[in-house]
């Protein structure tokens, strides 16, 4: 049965006079009223970030359908958005639960009533383990899975008072990020779980993205084969067919699925963690999707930044009032897609490319990006690259329905909890 989160708190939040989202129709208007008042975006102070609810719904449905077709469970990574409103839509579409990366994110998920939570990291401390147990005591129907990749991480969770904490054996590789490095270490950690009160082994975990760089299909296949070997040799004999095997982030989903093709029901339940798909992007993930096999799910960008041209110098270089404080810059820069003037779309970029550079509060659009020369006061619409590090720049994101246009109106605000 689909789960709905308790989002009542969001509707009662008072207006935030210091929000980055400000302008006529937004100032002093409670967010619960935006859906009925639908204020126009035209008078908003720039920069502002928008999210297209239609694209979000289509992306959520596409990933859920892809998982359902393969018999996978889905726990989309909540760290991408840290937006319970978006988590709720993923859960309502059929997601098994929500993945988080830190104990602070775990607290947010618990606060909003997520019933199944995958912590894709070790709890690593007695205090962390006790907080998880306290949540399970309050609601015994909850499920909180965390990872272990060392005997020390297991021992930190020891308890004789219960309830038991289910843990997944994190399978890595030499030179990787987390995870046991070989089968011998895997056996040692699994044995420590069996010998430790208050902890039980529930399955295996792995992250193919920790390979690093731009892995080839053979690299991904080799890693997936290694993960399956450890899962079958070490975990399945102790857990049985009810075991979880979680793998599959936002890159290389089709390649991971190819590596899992031989799995049967006896290998347990596959749990996919892709989170970026909810918003997609216009650069890093767009190019990854273009190069992905036909069997990969397809998504479309939901985020758009709007900025004002502050100055034009050096033969047509436009300076915008948007920068590193507003958009991700760790895996590609924002991408100019439209130029607006006098409330109308004046120009559209057929083959968008990144801005030339970004400072803390400024971006530089190269001369010739638009067929029309930008002028001071024009608005530039930008797509983003790597939405994970764009969401965290915004406490509130303006929600619209359909593609952003100069006539778009707000139907709500999406609140993030970073």
The model's pLDDT over 132-174, given as tens digits with 9 standing for 90+, comes to 999 999 999 999 999 999 999 999 999 999 899 999 999 999 8
Q: Are residues 265 and 313 in the same domain?
A: no
Q: Are residues 60 and 36 in the same domain?
A: no
Structure tokens at 66: 């892809």
pLDDT at res. 216: 81
Q: Are residues 25 and 107 in the same domain?
A: no
In a domain, 1, yes or no: no
In a domain, 291, yes or no: no
Q: Are residues 211 and 319 in the same domain?
A: no
| Pairwise CA distance, residues 407 & 344, whole Å | 8
Number of domains, the chain: 2
Domain range for 67 is: 54-279
2, 10, 137, 263, 314 from 111: Cα distances, Å: 18, 12, 15, 36, 51
Q: Are residues 82 and 220 in the same domain?
A: yes
pLDDT at res. 148: 98
* 334: nearest Cα among 276, 390, 382: 382
Final residue before a domain boundary, out of 250, 279, 308 = 279
Residue 316 falls in which region: left (phi positive, over 0), alpha (psi -120 to 50) or beta: left
In a domain, 286, yes or no: no
Coarse DSSP helix, strand, coil percentages of the chain, rounded to the nearest 5 percent: 30, 20, 45
Contact 91, 98 (CB under 8 A): yes
CB proximity list for 264: less than 8 A, separation 6 or greater: none
Q: Are residues 250 and 330 in the same domain?
A: no
Q: Are residues 398 and 327 in the same domain?
A: yes
Count of residues in the chain: 418
pLDDT at res. 15: 65
pLDDT at res. 213: 67
In a domain, 213, yes or no: yes
Structure tokens at 382: 């930008």
| Pairwise CA distance, residues 34 & 335, whole Å | 29
Structure tokens at 408: 């778009």
Q: Are residues 151 and 235 in the same domain?
A: yes
In a domain, 226, yes or no: yes
In a domain, 347, yes or no: yes
Contact 79, 98 (CB under 8 A): no
Q: Are residues 247 and 314 in the same domain?
A: no
In a domain, 290, yes or no: no
CATH number at residue 17: 2.40.37.20
CB proximity list for 172: less than 8 A, separation 6 or greater: 149, 178, 179, 180, 181, 206, 207, 210
Contact 62, 280 (CB under 8 A): no
Final residue before a domain boundary, out of 279, 307, 333 = 279
Q: Are residues 144 and 77 in the same domain?
A: yes
Q: Are residues 335 and 249 in the same domain?
A: no
Q: Are residues 47 and 103 in the same domain?
A: no
In a domain, 407, yes or no: yes
| Pairwise CA distance, residues 362 & 360, whole Å | 6
Final residue before a domain boundary, out of 244, 279, 314 = 279
pLDDT at res. 302: 98
pLDDT digit of tens for each residue in the chain (418 aa)?
688 798 887 776 766 777 899 998 888 888 888 889 999 999 899 999 999 999 999 999 999 999 999 999 999 999 999 999 999 999 999 999 999 999 999 999 999 999 999 999 999 999 999 999 999 999 999 999 999 999 999 999 999 998 999 999 999 998 888 999 999 999 999 999 999 999 999 999 999 877 766 778 888 889 999 999 999 999 999 999 999 999 988 888 888 999 999 899 999 999 999 999 999 999 999 999 999 999 999 999 999 999 999 999 999 999 999 999 999 999 999 999 999 999 999 999 999 999 999 999 999 999 999 999 999 999 999 999 999 999 999 999 999 999 999 999 999 999 999 9
My answer on whether omega of the bond before 8 falls inside 30° of 0, hence cis, is no
CATH number at residue 221: 3.20.20.10
The model's pLDDT over 321-339, given as tens digits with 9 standing for 90+, comes to 999 999 999 999 999 999 9
């Amino acid at each position: 049965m689909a789960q709905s989160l308790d989002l009542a708190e969001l509707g009662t939040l008072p207006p935030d006079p210091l929000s980055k989202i400000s302008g006529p129709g937004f100032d002093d208007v409670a967010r619960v009223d935006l859906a009925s008042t639908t204020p126009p975006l035209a008078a908003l102070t720039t920069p502002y970030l928008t999210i297209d609810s239609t694209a979000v719904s289509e992306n959520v449905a596409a990933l859920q359908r892809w998982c359902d077709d393969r018999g996978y469970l889905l726990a989309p990574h909540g760290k991408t958005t840290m937006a319970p409103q978006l988590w709720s839509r993923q859960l309502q579409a059929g997601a098994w639960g929500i993945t988080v990366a830190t104990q602070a994110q775990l607290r947010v998920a618990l606060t909003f009533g997520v019933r199944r939570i995958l912590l894709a990291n070790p709890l690593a401390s007695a205090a962390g383990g006790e907080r998880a147990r306290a949540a399970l005591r309050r609601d015994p129907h909850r499920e909180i899975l965390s990872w272990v990749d060392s005997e020390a991480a297991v021992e930190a969770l020891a308890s004789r008072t219960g309830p038991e904490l289910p843990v997944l054996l994190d399978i890595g590789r030499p030179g990787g990020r987390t995870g046991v490095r070989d089968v011998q270490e895997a056996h040692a950690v699994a044995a420590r779980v069996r010998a430790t009160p208050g902890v039980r082994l529930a399955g295996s975990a792995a992250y193919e993205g920790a390979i690093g760089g731009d892995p080839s299909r053979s690299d991904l296949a080799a890693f997936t084969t290694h993960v399956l070997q450890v899962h079958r040799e070490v975990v399945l004999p102790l857990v049985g067919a009810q075991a979880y095997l979680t793998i599959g982030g936002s890159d290389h989903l089709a390649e991971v699925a190819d590596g899992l093709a031989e799995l049967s029901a006896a290998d347990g339940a596959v749990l996919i963690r892709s989170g970026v798909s909810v918003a997609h992007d216009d650069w890093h993930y767009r190019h990854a999707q273009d190069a992905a096999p036909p069997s990969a799910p397809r998504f479309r960008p939901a985020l758009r930044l709007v900025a004002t041209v502050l100055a034009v110098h050096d033969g047509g270089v436009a300076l915008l009032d948007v920068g590193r404080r507003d958009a991700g810059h760790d895996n590609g820069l924002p991408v100019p897609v439209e130029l607006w003037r006098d409330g109308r779309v004046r120009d559209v970029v057929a083959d968008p490319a990144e801005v030339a550079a970004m400072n803390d509060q400024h971006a530089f659009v190269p001369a010739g990006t638009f067929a029309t020369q930008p002028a001071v006061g024009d608005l530039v619409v930008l797509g983003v690259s790597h939405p994970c590090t764009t969401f965290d720049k915004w406490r509130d994101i303006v929600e619209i329905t359909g593609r952003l246009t100069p006539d778009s109106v707000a139907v709500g605000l999406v609140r993030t909890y970073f």
